[in-house]
Chains A and B, each alone.
Chain A
Amino acid sequence: MTNIPEALRMAPGVIVREKTPGNYDVHIRGFDNIPSNNMLLYSENMLTLLMIDNRPVYNYSFGGTLWETLPIEVSDVERIEIIRGASSALYGPNAVTGTINIITKKSTDKKLVVHADNAVGNNNSKLANVSGSFGVGEKLKLRLSGNYQWNGRFNKDHYYYGDGQYHPQSFFDEQYEEMKPLYKVKLEEDIYEKEPMNERAGEKFGANISGSMPFSEKVNVDFALGSQKSVVLSSALGNQWNPLITRDSETHYADLRAQAYGFQFQANYLFGERDYERMSKGFYIMEDILNLNLEYEYKFKNLTLRPGVSYQETFYDDSKKVDAAKHEGYLNGKKELSSLSYFLRADYTLFQKLRLIGAIRGDKYNKPDKNYFTWQFVGSYKINDNHMLRAVYSRANRGPFMADTYSNYKWETIPGYYNINWNGKQDLKLPVMDMIEFGYRVKPIKNIQAEFEVFRNTATDYSWFIPDSLKMYNVTVYPTSPVPTPVPGGLEGWISYHNFDLKVIQTGVSANVQVAMSRNLTMNVFGTWQKTELENFYPKSTFEILNALTIDAGTKAVMGAMIAGNGLPVGEVKATNEVKTTELVSQDHEATPSFYGGAGVNYILKDKWNINTTLYYYGKQTFVMNRSYSAFGTDEISAKTLVNLKVSYEFMKDNKVFVNVRNLLDDRSNEFAFADQIGAKFFAGVNLTF
């Protein structure tokens, strides 16, 4: 696997789509594109918690994981643990559909060992990872690592919402020129220099130092420091014309983990800057994130208690690059989201067969100013060493986001004439998910391990933005035929975030079978079948509502003019949108494939050759978003089968050469709505150890 999100294709229950080469969308058990018919942003996974060595790595602006901003790469990974299902009682907010914890490699040896993994591929792609581990003094062990990637695109053009086609950069340059005087779009001055290189899907760099220091048998300290810098052509926000935009990030982190006499303490701090949409003003932020966590493990016979407290503080500030007085940014200043949490986990084993686990957690947020309680109750029964049954009932909630909470952005659609006020809400209810899950693990024979899980998830308290009202100023009504024409002297709209009565119900089943024929031949096959239904969904799109409001306000102006007399200015009229329960619909949700899964075989030949093939499949999906050009807001993503092959030869102990082909069948279809073609990637490289 050439990068971390791609590696997640080896686990059941994970949907991984490549947006542009090297840039991914990852969802656990779906819940993607909810609400549909809204902005592309809502295709991001806002419900999964990603951690690196238990340090949350999350985008607090509007949710989602910016995978390219991880400072580490596959070569730093010891293992990736994936927990499917609602588990915020264990890990805190955002662990709603699941949790991904990446455990990094640690140095265990005092001698200096240097590793280098390098590969070059088609489309000028390059991957380089270097690491060195060594000991300092008697106890301290350090590991230094660096990674670099440059990923090339298959197509050099971009999707255009205007006509649903892909066009070269020159087409967009013309569009921008035309649009500029008309709409005075807030583009950066050096937009042409700043536009993405058409060849490049992304470039990133990361460097890390980690260390481990055992003071005594009972006291141990681990730490990590690192930085990353990245620029990618990917989606999340999109702009008026393109779904793909250029996103920049430069962040630095420090993480400390200490264990002493049953206590576990972790503190980490991240700071840096990001520009979510390089081309438009207002999406640049500086961030500061602090996490503190203290837990204690207390054992009494068969009972283990684990109480803890946690504090999280996030500051985002966009004032450096916007005029806050003009509301050019979405925050227009430094904003804070924080939470104080307390939790307890009890784990009890009876007769070494029955295990009962209960976890509860309270999170007190500053916004919304509320306490949220989440829980997890688990019962597992070990029939014998080869059979295990388990059941889970849990509740999890998502944390708040900056944009949803604090937005006060003035979108000058036509400056001086048409403004839209974009407002967050500080007391939005946070999305909550309840899960019931049953699982069975079995080892039918010594070299097979299989697991099955059946789940039902119910999510409520979703929130998203819709237009509230529209005001027309100084309207003049002209007596045109057949109907009079109202012409406003100015327009002002209000868009804000609201909670909806939407209920998302998902049922599904996953299976995973692993086989070790011998130490030379191992294989696995897995898959997930699932169905998602929406109840009480408010399906109206932003543009639909804005159009209705315009007609409504215009009609009011005409009525006013008829009363006041022909041709007279009417003053101001206002139309307001109300969500009526009669407008709510229930429907099947088709943005998540009903089946996805994979398989893999690894064969070691004569101890020197390693032959590995993996397969990943997802079924058809329909992605729906909303544009003013509504005809081009739907993208059917066809089923895709990705076959990968890696052959490596060990010419010397721990030194290998390899060839690696991703998407061997060269199915060039786009995996994500409106995004890039993803064809076959070829790499040749070396893994060296000194």
Chain B
Amino acid sequence: MTKRFWRAGILACLISCVGVAHAQVSSLNVTEMSEAQIRQLSYNDLLQLSLEDLMTVANRFGMSADEILEYFLNKDVVAASKKAEKSMESPLSTTVISKEQIEQSG
């Protein structure tokens, strides 16, 4: 269970990392990136990764490709509990609209 929480923490960190390290990702080379740099990657950056690179990221954080799907569905929400938690676990009726959704849709 602790491991799950740890993973969830990493996921949360990956998703919630903001302000995109655009400059440094001009050519993403995840195999050479430090853990800290990977954590700086935004959701958008992750979308840009090839499946191979995505697996590299996933492996380095001990996640499966399935867990990566979580990014798309189970977003972080803070407002409902005044702390970050997964939307699947939010105690209130909550919806999160992400910057990616806004950008992609218009």
A: which residues have CB within 8 A of B?
Answer: 1-2, 6-8, 10-13, 74, 77-85, 87, 90-91, 99, 101, 103, 105-109, 111-113, 115, 133, 141, 143, 295, 297, 306, 345, 347, 352, 355, 357, 378, 380, 382, 388, 390, 392, 437, 439, 441, 443, 446-449, 451, 453, 455, 510, 512, 514, 516, 519, 522, 600, 602, 604, 607, 610, 612, 614, 644, 646, 648, 653-654, 660, 662, 687, 689
Contacts and interface: CB of A to CB of B under 8 A. Distances in A.
Nearest to A10: B97
Contact of A79 (B27, B54, B75, B106): B75
Nearest to A526: B95
A136 to B, nearest CB: 14
A78 B1 contact: no
A662 B105 CA distance: 10
A326 B104 CA distance: 54
24 contacts: A1-B102, A1-B105, A2-B106, A10-B97, A78-B18, A79-B96, A80-B96, A81-B95, A106-B18, A109-B20, A111-B24, A112-B23, A113-B19, A295-B82, A388-B89, A392-B93, A516-B73, A519-B54, A646-B104, A646-B106, A653-B27, A653-B48, A654-B25, A689-B22
A306 B50 CA distance: 43
Contact of B105 (A12, A80, A516, A644): A644
Most buried by A among B46, B82, B106: B106
Interface in B77-96: 77-83, 87-89, 91-96
A109 B68 CA distance: 24
B31 interface: no
Given A79-B97, A607-B48, A141 B19 contact: yes
Contact of B19 (A80, A106, A355, A653): A106
Contacts of B91: 355, 357, 378, 380, 390, 392
B98 A519 contact: no
B19 A133 contact: yes
B6 interface: no
A384 B95 CA distance: 21
A85 B97 contact: no
Interface string B20-34: 111111110000000
A645 to B, nearest CB: 9
A81 B18 contact: no
Nearest to A523: B72
A6 B97 contact: no
Interface of B: 1, 17-27, 40, 46-48, 50, 54, 66, 68-69, 72-75, 77-83, 87-89, 91-99, 101-106
Contacts of B18: 78, 105-106, 108
B67 to A, nearest CB: 9
A497 to B, nearest CB: 32
Contact of A453 (B93, B103, B105): B93
A404 to B, nearest CB: 28
B19 A108 contact: yes
Contacts of B20: 108-109, 113
Contact of B97 (A2, A8, A84): A8
Nearest to A654: B22
A607 B72 CA distance: 16
Contacts of B66: 446
Given A112-B23, A604-B47, A10 B92 contact: no
Nearest to A387: B88
Contacts of A82: 94-97
A522 B82 contact: no
Nearest to A376: B92
A674 to B, nearest CB: 27
Given A108-B18, A449-B73, A604-B47, A90 B82 contact: yes
B78 A81 contact: yes
Nearest to B25: A653
Nearest to B46: A519
